[in-house]
Amino acid sequence: MARTFFVGGNFKLNGTKQSIKEIVERLNQASLPKDCEVVLCPPAPYLDYAAGLVSKSQVSVGAQNAYQKAAGAFTGENSVDQIKDCGAKWVILGHSERRTIFGEDDKTVADKTKFALDQGLGVILCIGETLEEKKAGVTLKVVERQLDAVIAQVKDWTNVVVAYEPVWAIGTGLAATPEDAQEIHASIREYLAKKLGSDVAEKTRILYGGSANGSNASTFKDKKDVDGFLVGGASLKPEFVDIVNSRN
């Protein structure tokens, strides 16, 4: 079956009203493929602003994080209801920076994923191994463990997009080859089929998220299990449009 191409832009802790306006307007003015879904994820203070600028039907806005409680005394956290109130439709959860810098474990990521889905947000679920884990040859064990935590809580994966992000390829300039990515993505899909059934596995989009850019994105287009990208630094640059159009 044909899965809709998906490109997420994770701005991380970057951006101002001016730069975000430029990014969104560039997409608004560009010729984009109709069979593509684009999700822009600016810092939380700019969610409402970015959502108000978007004019293309295939472009929406997502948050970079959300808490697993609706409201309360949780200073500094992002509420799912507030994210939705700002016009966002997605949230990135389990990003390696959340796991490694902020100490989120697999259960925390799973709790957040279930809560966000239950409240009506789509989830870009990030999984991936560190350089040490890659060198130790345990990549699949790591991503299966990360998936297992979510599988234990989430039965309906309709609104989940999986982003395979090798931690060693984020912000380092290193990137898995298209062949490497295809091999891991195929293994992830096979594991989802084993745990959730072949229908769910075939419908679930699996993105590659390790230093994808305007130069290398098109080299992934014939890889049948690479359904798009979660883009970091390149999402802040004009080349982001090239990544969105990389299947053309």
What's the pLDDT at 1?
59
DSSP state at residue 175: -
pLDDT digits (tens, 9 = 90+) for 193-207: 999 999 999 999 999
Catalytic residue among 37, 95, 129, 144: 95
Q: Would you call 185 a catalytic residue per the annotation?
A: no
pLDDT digits (tens, 9 = 90+) for 39-48: 999 999 999 9
229 vs 209: CA distance, rounded Å: 6
Catalytic residue among 97, 104, 129, 165: 165
Interacting residues of 184 by C-beta distance below 8 A, sequence separation 6+: 139, 140, 143, 164, 166, 176
pTM of the full predicted structure? 0.97
pLDDT averaged over every residue in the chain: 95
What domains appear along the chain, each with residue ranges and CATH number?
A: 5-244 (3.20.20.70)
Where does the pLDDT of residue 119 fall: very low under 50, low under 70, confident under 90, or very high at 90 and above?
very high
pLDDT digits (tens, 9 = 90+) for 149-170: 999 999 999 999 999 998 888 7
